[in-house]
Structure 1
Amino acid sequence: MQRRGSASPIEDSRTPSLSLVTGPALRGSNGRDIDPSFYSSFLQSDQEEASGRKTSDSSDLSPEESANLRNPSTPRSPIISTKETTMSPLESQLSNASMDGSIGSRRRWRSRARSPWSNSLLTLAVTLLGLLTVFGIVYSYLTRQIDPQGCKTPRMVPTYIKLLGFDSEHTRFASKYGLYLYRERNVDAYSEEDIGLKGVPVLFLPGNAGSYRQGRSLAAEASNYFHDALRHDQDRYKAGTRSLDFFMADFNEDMAAFHGQTLLDQAEYVNEALSYILSLYHDPRRPGRDPNLPDPTSVILIGHSMGGIVARTVLTMSNYQANSVNTIITMSTPHARPPVSFDSDLVHTYKQINDYWREAYSQKWANHNPLWHVTLISIAGGGGDSIVPSDYTSLSSLVPDTHGFTVFTTTMPTVWTGMDHLSIAWCDSFRKVIIRSLFDIVDVQRSSQTKQRADRMNVFKKWYLTGLEDGAEKVLTRKNPNTLLTLGDNVNAILPQGQRLVLREFGKRRQPEAHLLTVPSQGVPGKKFTLLSDQILSAPGGSGKLEVLFCSVFPLRAGLSSAHLSHSLDLSDGSSGATRLACKSAVEDLIQLPASTRTSKYPFDAPQPFSYLQYDLEDLAEHQFVAVVDKAERLSTGWVVAEFSNSSDAVIPTRVGLGRLVSTGLNIRLPADRPMLTEVKIPAMHSSLLAYKLRVGKQPCGEDAELFTPFVRQYIEEPYESKYFVNVKEAEINLHGIAPYMPPHLRETSGPRGVSFQLWSDPSCNASVELSLSVDVLGSLGKLVMRYRTVFAAFPLVVVALVIRKQFKIYDQTGVFIPFSESLDLCLRSSLPVLFLGLSFLASSLASSSPVIAAHGPSNWRTNATESVIDFTKNDLLLGSQDTFYWFLVPVFGVISVAVCVLINHVAMFLTSILSVVRGILVSRRGYIKIEDQKAGVLFSPLSPNYRIVNTAVLLLLVSTVIPYQFAYIVACIVQLATCVKASAHAKETRTSSHYNFYNYVHSIFILMLWILPVNVLVLIVWVHNLAVHWLTPFSSHHNVLSIMPFLLLVETLASQTMVPRVTSRFRHITSIIFFVLAVYAAIYGVTYAYLLHHIVNLGVAWLVGVHLSTSGFSLRGLKQLLEGGDFRDEGSATVHGHLKKLP
């Protein structure tokens, strides 16, 4: 490889090598640098050079200097050393041909003396556009499409009992972590001798930097609910219901979201805690527990945020005790992907965990599946969660629907509100639903302390889902008749077939009254029964105003007597022609919907929800009548609407594409004779990146006041996300459907089903309604923040890599290391548009590829439902999008990246300028400066090479033993900043091209290191936190000295004022290839595997160190010379050696 230049910007006569001056500085016979403006004029045209005409600027030169410039082969003694030396591998012999090539390349590059602060109009325009885009995204995220939150703060009186017995004899983490038992004061009985373990053990796991105290809301509700409601319920007691003993793991606010080893440590600790908790219940000396009950063998786990991942990791650990966990409930937990990919351990740990779960559920036989009895429920807070994207909470790629599901808090009955990342742990309405579901699954008569898996799943679906989902199980079909309904001939009415029942008040006849609707014959397809009321449905024998029964003529079969029916409702008034019906109550299939009146604003506001029933005709096959019984005995307010409707009238499918939906929107007019419930299906609405506006036209209601105002349910089927809009006129629509970087489903699916809108409106108004749906462009911008937040860290590195690549390319050709801003301007006119255009085509290609790959390999899992093999990493690349529509995001992110790079570049230069001024003030206060330091421009008094070698060696030794290499990287960044400050100060003082070359070089390296800083800083935070809690166990995976050695060597080299030599042979392409690979990798893999960005940059830095070493040869002596560096000195300046000049 041919090298031009030396190890320092100015020739150092102490260097025993034959070399050329590095950089654009040309030397005259007097040793002075020629200003860059000189050869800017000198290289105006090749024609003028060929004719040998001297430029106007060269008239100031001496005749010898002019002769040297006109004839490059003329020897110049200040440039060429006469000492003999051995050439290094990267050096080449100096010849007249190489000199001619150097001058020729400079002629081709018309150098411009340009300020690093200056930017072209093109750069300014792109920067302005990028900043406006960023402003729009941030403004949209903070102000538009924000889900309302209606959480109320609960009250509790907590007591935490630390289990000191769980010490170092049980776990090696006893000094770092802790275990507590929660007791509610004045509710839970406990003492020093008996801590009151009489129930079912539950362990709460906090999240990243979370506290064990976050579990107090759930624990307090469990204690109060059992004490107030269940303690005296003998039926529940006999069924195995007991109190819940809430244990809490104290992870000392550790940060498992940033570090994979911390995640594994917590999982190991939890397994040991589970064994200890179960041993407490096995102690025969423990009073208060029924000796006839089996000892517990499992613990229910509840995890918040990363605590949910810890819970799943527990089952994959080697110290896991089989069947000690069978129920896991997680809240705002990123199951599908790690929240950040800056740590290799975290990414690999996630992959191992998810692969284990997928492989377990891919087994054909249950006895081969270690997770067969495990149920996993993932609960998401929705768009209000600004910490973890709620898309990542999906279990569709991990768990079949027989063992778990994902649900949003906006879906859960009586909750109906979105939550942020922290409020989901304490929200009052939410905790009530969670605790009631837990009490419904416990059964202390079983050693597992819980019901069987299928029963647990039914309980969770009952409490967490709406009941409106396709395939929702109905209790009515499994029940036997339990009510005998007796009707008279004259008092009760049977409505004609197809007529709708509408009651506007109750108790009109001052006595109970039944209204019968005839069930249509089964031959009619698509029929559905619906009922809506503002009253709570009464159970058989209850005191409510409304009871709904599904009846058949009694007796159902010969020999059946009324004694088999536990309840009787006689409405015959002693009539001789009474009709008897055997009926089933529908109260157990009740669906609660948020109340919608003229005063309603949010679904969580109303104290009493609406009651709703919905059955397919197939569910009513054994019944002839639906009896709606008005049990009020005096006139009272209230209403009910009941009807049978056809799906052809109630369901409106749309076939509009996404392009048309974005451009023109969708308008639908619903007829006046529509059913009470109308559903509009829009398959094209499946992306979580778009937000919409839904407008519902006003519905005139004529003479009678409307029973209720229209309300809408927006829902998708996977995951279970429903949102309600009451008293709706205009609604903001956003969803968590198909999201970027999400792995495909564990089972093959037929494709996205999109969003459906269910509209309930008063059918008695007999008026048409218009629906209008349009894309909210500004609201959609904010959806990029959570889905693409890592892109905003990875994509700017694409720009930085290409800019530095261009700088080195020009430097190797001309000897001019142009400023970062100038290189960015050149890239905007060449490589950046080409690369982003190519990436746009690649994004479209990746999005259009099939999600199912017919291939076999050890990394793919075979599912029960299909013989195809699913590639779970398919969406890891580039945009991670599954829709070709979003190709334009690549240039959008490119424009933003350019703007961010320009901004960071100017901030870095501003910081450098400020620090250089401060440095100048501090230096001036010393009172004396050497004249040669002032005039000759010595950068600073460098440390001796031996001292630098010792410093570097000590730091590398610490990295290999004690500190993570991320700490050394922070030190390297600080040292590089100091080098930039000194280089900037002396470049401004000397105003020589060599000093500006060096400053531009070290500044660009500093910008590159800044963009890698986020990859390293998170692991460093974990390490510092461990020091704070006196945990000194080193990170086994972060002590590779090769991951930091090139950075340290380069930084030390630059600190010794050593300029990188030029490479003019074919080896110069290595520099271009390395930085081009970095740019492409940052774009394609930077989001999913961001931790590798450090190692690719590390490879590039190692190459630069090698180029530097070429100056002195690859040897320890050469390394010493490299660290010793050279002086920035104008050799022709007047110096007074050894004399000091007093500052005025």
Structure 2
Amino acid sequence: MIPTATVGLVSFFLSFLLYLSTTNAPLKLSPQGCRMSWMSPSYILQPGLNTTWTPLARRYSLWLYREVGWEDDSKLNGVPVLFIPGNAGSSHQVRSIASSATRQYYDSPFEVSETFSSRNMKPLDFFAVEFNEDLSAFHGPTLESQRLYTVKAIDYILSHYPPDTKIIVMGHSMGGVVATSLLPSPHISSIITMSTPHTVPPARFDSRIDSLFKAAKEQIEHDETPILSICGGITDTMIPSEFCTLLPSKTDAFRKTIFTSGLEGCWSGVGHREMVWCHQVRWRVARAALELGLAATPGEKAVVLANWFRGGVEKSFERPMPILDLNSRPHQYLAEGRRLLLRELKGSKTYLLSTSSIGVSPEKGRFTLYLSQGSIADVSTAHSASTKVTVQLCTIAVSQNSSSCQPLVPDELRLVPNPDPSMPFPVPDEGVDEADGVVTFSSPVLVPDAGGSETWINVDIADGDGNGWILADFENQATVVDEASSFAPFFGEVTVQLHPSKLRTDIRLPRFVSNALLVYQVTPRVTPTCSLLSPLLLHTSSDAEAHYHRLNDLQSIYLHGHTSGPFLAHLPKSHGINFTIYSSGDIHWWTTIGRWAPRYWNAILAWSAGVVSILLFSSWTAWDTGAPMPTIAQSLHKFVRNILPRLLVVFSVASLIPLPANLWLGNSGEPLFAPLAPLILLLSSGFVCISWLVLRILMWPIAKLGDAFGRRKEDITLGYRAMGSILFISLLVFLFIPWQVAFLGCFLIHLHTTATDRPTTFEHHDAHNHRTHILLMMTWCLPAVAPVLAVWIRTLATAGFTTPFDGDHFVVNVIGFMLLTHYATSTHGQIFSKRHRLEVVPVGFWYAVGATVSFVLGPRSTYRMYEALNLPTMVVVLFRMLLSPPRS
């Protein structure tokens, strides 16, 4: 028992460490800076959506949001918007976004803002469906019911508007899955999802959830409707944010994923629940929806969504850059090697910087410009000043006194934060203001061979109002490439030397692995002499995701990303860490471990079921050879001493095999993650040991109560009464109650039977040990059964007993356990017979097959763990009970 207890204690200790690191990780990696939103809400029930539209009107409802005192409650004359809440969500979550849309559209109550009235823009009519906080993440039929109701809700809403009106759909969490599952639909204008898992279900206890996700992914890939996905990053502890990434469209349809850590004007991780009320996000969602009301074509809608949700990495630059006449305003030539630095921007003037110090190769020269409180093209803060800056590449023929200019097209034009050095970044409970930020412009400079001409960079400043500053310079291309191996940060530090006076430095670590399971710790050595722009590190892990970190001397920062992760078949393995330092690592184990638990708790459950299957395989094999049926303690001891050490080696080797991403642990053979398999197996084995201890403790008071109230009678025959009871319960399952209820009843009956069993003979000991193995097996079926059962309990509590139990009437899922429970309860003697002559494959082998299914398929599809235990159990019932009844 000592090895078994040791494994249990080690598992408990490791689980506690995982819990601590998981809860600590968001604060370290991406602290949240969100301003609370305020509103004056009212919700108007739409009774017209009744059972004449859909039978689900008995269960769900539709509401219209109105901001009290700001708009007319009775008129529907705007652009319809439908909000869909997520798992355990409420229709009231619409209030933050809807309130922001109203208060942006109206300068004051009933007074439309000039910004919108001058363009004949309409307000928004926000509707929200109420799903009574259903637990849709755990149950496919519930998610399907929500989809069906939403389809009818859209039909009902649009019946109040002119023909050909389209509706904007917003979904939070699982509501986003409902939104994309509505496609294809001619009635939907565009879709905005927030904290929605698009690729992999977060809770994978129901195969029907997988089917709905697969159908939704098909529509995302092929439908033409513009879709935007907003992700909260590591701060969202409800779903792994790599699941939030949209699949690319196989057509030219607009698909964009943006992480709030890189979203202009937000620059902060955002929690799952906070996504709908975080001011820095909700006002952009509301403004984009207002602009979408004016967009007529999918292309125009794509432009709106792209412009209002900039961040991450821009693949191409398509913004118009005007061409200006060099002689149209006063200009000044700067001496060679001199930076352009203006601490106040007044009036209009042109500054020219010579390129003579830069060679003809674009790899050598780069022009970088920082602008505060101004705009370049259409990039600026939300409330920017009037100052506008244009950058051109000009060729000046000195002898002819003529010039020719063309726009200098940047490869990077973005808004970056400029945090206050005296405050945390982002500021807790406040974040950044809409007016915060600095525009960065960067472009490689290719100087043409102009003969006797000179080449200059023309920086044109127009309409300066005295606010803001500008800084620009030529520099040699500052790209630092370090070829350190992917294993180097695991065993030490990697030091990168940087030039101290560069405006911009790009760093490439091409061999490092970029994965959601890893966190890199960077400790900078900087001299804080930048008075205009605090030194920033920009980490870009993908086109959709960027993170900004302020650099303080010897203060560690943590680089993480969601460019790839477990079970993401559509994403290739990602190598390379890229980051940029703006100014005027090793592995961090603690936070890295904190990234594992949210992604592999399903794997721990499934592999625990696999361990139980191995115990059953081992015990059945021993019993079939004539040995006594071992006790659970003996089975666990044998497993820990003999089987587990071998499995740890086998699992480590198996993790090096490049399997598809939906198998095993979903890492496709990446060597860095091979140690995860033995760690998870050790945890799972320990949990099985702990579960048996818990069962022993639970059975003790039940046994005492059983002794006090007398013993049960023995009757091993499957008589008419017993058969009638089983058939009656099967009929109830088929017609009315979920099979999960029947399983729970079987578990409770068998728990009582095992607890009150008192073996007195050799055969009775064998039977008792069979019962305990069955009890342990049924215990590890509960994680796959309990979530769906909780859904139905929740549904009954909110919608009443008239709710149909759709989709959970497959009697085969429970009939084996019903028969098994009857036999185990009816007899005090031998439960099972020896191997039947028709039993070509021993029943123990079927449990080995079940273990393989749990290990290989279970981490991605957790519902397989129940199937892996149910099928061998049905084989046992067939060959060891029905075809060959045991002798008393």
Question: How high is the TM-score relative to the length of structure 2?
Answer: 0.89
Asked if structure 2 preserves the Cα contact closer than 8 Å seen for 1:258 and 1:342, the reply is yes
Pairwise CA distance, 1:1008: 0.5
TM-aligned CA distance change 1:312 to 1:346, over 3 Å: same
**8 Å Cα contact 2:528-2:552 kept in structure 1:** no
Q: Which amino acid counterpart does residue 391 of structure 2 have in structure 1?
A: F
Q: Which residue of 2 aligns with 1:340?
A: 203
Contact 1:151 1:428 in 2 (8 A): yes
- Give the corresponding residue for 2:305: 460
Name 1:968's counterpart in structure 2.
Answer: 742
C-alpha separation between the residues in 1 aligned to 2:765 and 2:384? 90
Distance apart, 1:552 and its partner CA: 8.1
Q: Of 652, 661, 666, which aligns to 1:875?
A: 661
Q: Deviations over 1:581-613 (max 9, x none)?
A: 9999999x9733211343132135454523223
Match of 1:884 among 636, 660, 671: 671
1:208 matched residue in structure 2: 87
Q: Offset at 1:407? A: 1.3
Question: Structure 1 residues 484, 261: closer, same or farther in 2, change over 3 A?
Answer: farther
Query: Which amino acid is 1:1048 matched to?
Result: M
Find the partner of 1:471 among 313, 316, 321: 316
Q: CA separation in 1, counterparts of 2:99 and 2:293?
A: 18
Judge conservation of contact 2:614–2:851 (CA < 8 Å) in 1.
Answer: yes
Equivalent AA in structure 2 for residue 881 of structure 1: N
Native 8 Å contact 1:600 1:727 kept in 2? no
Q: Which amino acid aligns with 2:834?
A: V
Q: Deviations over 1:968-1015 (max 9, x none)?
A: 0011111111111111xx24xx5x544443332211111101111121
| Residue 643 (structure 1) aligned with residue 524 (structure 2) | no
Deviation (angstroms), 1:431: 0.3
1:290-369 alignment runs, 5 A limit:
295-316=163-184, 322-358=185-221, 360=222
Counterpart residue type for residue 651 of structure 1 = T
- Opposite residue 716 of structure 1, the aligned amino acid is S
Q: Is the 8 A contact 2:374 2:384 kept in 1?
A: no
Work out whether residues 126 and 895 of structure 1, in 8 Å CA contact, stay in contact via their aligned partners in 2.
yes
The aligned amino acid for 1:216 is: R
Q: Which has the larger radius of gyration?
A: 1
SS at 1:174 equivalent: helix
Question: In structure 2, do the counterparts of structure 1 residues 618 and 154 end up closer, same or farther at CA, with 3 Å as the change threshold?
Answer: same
What corresponds to 1:273 in structure 2?
Answer: 153
- Answer yes or no: is 1:895 the counterpart of 2:682: yes
**Contact residue 199 and residue 246 of structure 2 kept, 8 A:** yes
Displacement of 1:148 in angstroms is 0.7
Q: 2:103 aligns with which of 215, 224, 248?
A: 224
Is the 1:486–1:580 Cα contact (8 Å) retained in structure 2? Answer: no
Return the alpha-carbon distance in structure 1 between the equivalents of residues 312 and 561 of structure 2: 20
* Pairing 1:953–2:727 present: yes
Partner of 2:55: 172
Change (3 A) 1:277 1:727: farther
- 1:92-107 to 2 correspondence within 5 Å? none
C-alpha contact (below 8 Å) 1:791/1:1087 kept by paired residues: yes
Distance 1:459 1:586, change over 3 A: farther
Per-residue CA deviation, residues 525-557 of structure 1 (Å, 9 max, x unaligned), is 1443322244445999x995955333688999x
1:718-737 map, 5 Å: 718-725=543-550, 727=552, 729-737=555-563
Amino acid of the residue matched to residue 908 of structure 1?
A: L
CA 1:973–1:633: 2 relative to 1, 3 Å: closer
Matching residue's letter, 1:224:
R
Q: Do the aligned partners of residues 498 and 236 (structure 1) sit closer, same or farther apart at CA in structure 2, a change above 3 Å counting? A: farther
Q: 2:259·2:312 contact (CA, 8 Å) conserved in 1? A: no
Letter in 1 for 2:825: A
Q: Determine if contact 1:1026/1:1032 at 8 Å carries over to the other structure.
A: no
- Secondary structure in 1 matching 2:675: helix
Distance in structure 1 (CA, Å) of the matches to 2:303 and 2:446: 18
> Is 2:184 aligned against 1:415?
no
- In the TM superposition, residue 798 of structure 1 has moved relative to its aligned partner by 1.5
Aligned counterparts of 2:198 and 2:285: Cα–Cα separation in 1: 20
Q: Superposed, which structure 2 residues align to 1:67-106 within 5 Å? A: none
Aligned to 2:499: 671
- After superposition, the C-alpha distances for 1:1102-1121 in whole angstroms (9 at most, x for unaligned) are 232234436xx66xxx6xxx
Instruction: Tell me the residue number matched to 2:353.
Output: 517
AA in 2 matched with 1:404 = R
Please show how residues 614-629 of structure 1 align to structure 2 within 5 Å: 614-617=441-444, 625-627=457-459, 629=461
- CA–CA separation in structure 1 for the residues paired with 2:385 and 2:138: 54
CA–CA distance in structure 2, aligned partners of residues 234 and 534 of structure 1 = 26
Q: Helix, strand or coil: the match of 1:656? A: coil
Whole-Å separation in 2 of the counterparts to 1:1078 and 1:538: 62
Say whether residues 1:755 and 2:755 are aligned partners. Answer: no
Q: CA deviation at 1:328?
A: 0.5
> Share of identical aligned residues, percent?
25
C-alpha contact (below 8 Å) 2:515/2:560 kept by paired residues: no
Residue 709 (structure 1) aligned to one of 534, 547, 550:
534
Please identify, of 994-1003 and 531-540, the stretch whose mean Cα deviation from structure 2 is larger: 531-540
Question: Are the structure 2 counterparts of residues 626 and 274 from structure 1 closer, same or farther at C-alpha, using a change threshold of 3 Å?
Answer: same
Q: C-alpha distance in 2, partners of 1:956/1:403? A: 49
Residue in 1 that maps onto 2:436: 609
**Which of 645, 649, 654 does residue 833 from structure 1 map onto?**
645
Map 1:47-58 onto structure 2 (within 5 A). Answer: none
For residues 178-216 of structure 1, what are the alpha-carbon distances to aligned partners after superposition, in whole Å with 9 as ceiling and x for unaligned?
1111110111113xxxx2222111110111121111111
Contact 2:88/2:134 (<8 A) preserved? yes
Counterpart AA for 2:635: S
**Shift in Å at residue 1021 of structure 1?**
2.4
How far apart, CA to CA, are the structure 1 residues paired with 2:406 and 2:70? 42
Equivalent residue number for residue 570 of structure 2: 744
Deviation at residue 725 of structure 1 after TM alignment: 3.3
**Secondary structure, counterpart of 1:247 in structure 2:** strand
Alignment pair present for 1:159 and 2:42: yes
1:264 has 2:144 as partner: yes
Deviation at 1:465, TM superposition (A): 2.2
Aligned equivalents of 1:406 and 1:502: distance in 2? 36
- 1:1034 positional shift: 3.9
Once residues 789 and 482 of structure 1 are traced to their aligned partners in structure 2, the CA distance between those partners, rounded to angstroms, is 63
Q: SS of the counterpart of 1:616?
A: strand
Structure 2 residue aligned with 1:904: 691
Ranges in structure 2 where 5+ consecutive residues have no aligned partner: none
- Inter-CA distance 376–495: structure 2 relative to 1 (3 Å threshold): same
Determine the C-alpha separation between the residues in 2 that align with 1:496 and 1:215: 57
Structure-to-structure mapping, 1:926-937, within 5 angstroms: none
Q: Does the alignment pair 1:140 with 2:21?
A: yes
Is contact 1:336-1:743 (8 Å) kept? no
Q: Which has the higher contact order (CA 8 A, sep 6+)?
A: 1
AA aligned to 2:161 is Y
Pairs aligned (count): 860
Name the CA distance, whole Å, in 1 between partners of 2:421 and 2:259. 27
Give the alignment's Cα RMSD to 1 decimal.
Answer: 3.5
Deviations 1:56-105 (A, max 9, x none): xxxxxxxxxxxxxxxxxxxxxxxxxxxxxxxxxxxxxxxxxxxxxxxxxx
Is residue 2:605 matched to residue 1:793? yes
Q: 2:414 — aligned with what?
A: 591
**What is the CA-CA distance between 1:401 and the residue it aligns to?**
7.6
TM-score normalized by structure 1? Answer: 0.70
The aligned amino acid for 2:341 is V
**8 Å CA contact 1:714, 1:722 repeated in 2:** yes
Q: In 1, are the aligned partners of 2:173 and 2:194 still within 8 Å (CA)?
A: yes
1:926 corresponds to: none
Structure 1 residues 232, 1034: CA separation in 2 closer, same or farther (over 3 Å shift)?
closer
Matched, 1:1086 2:855: no
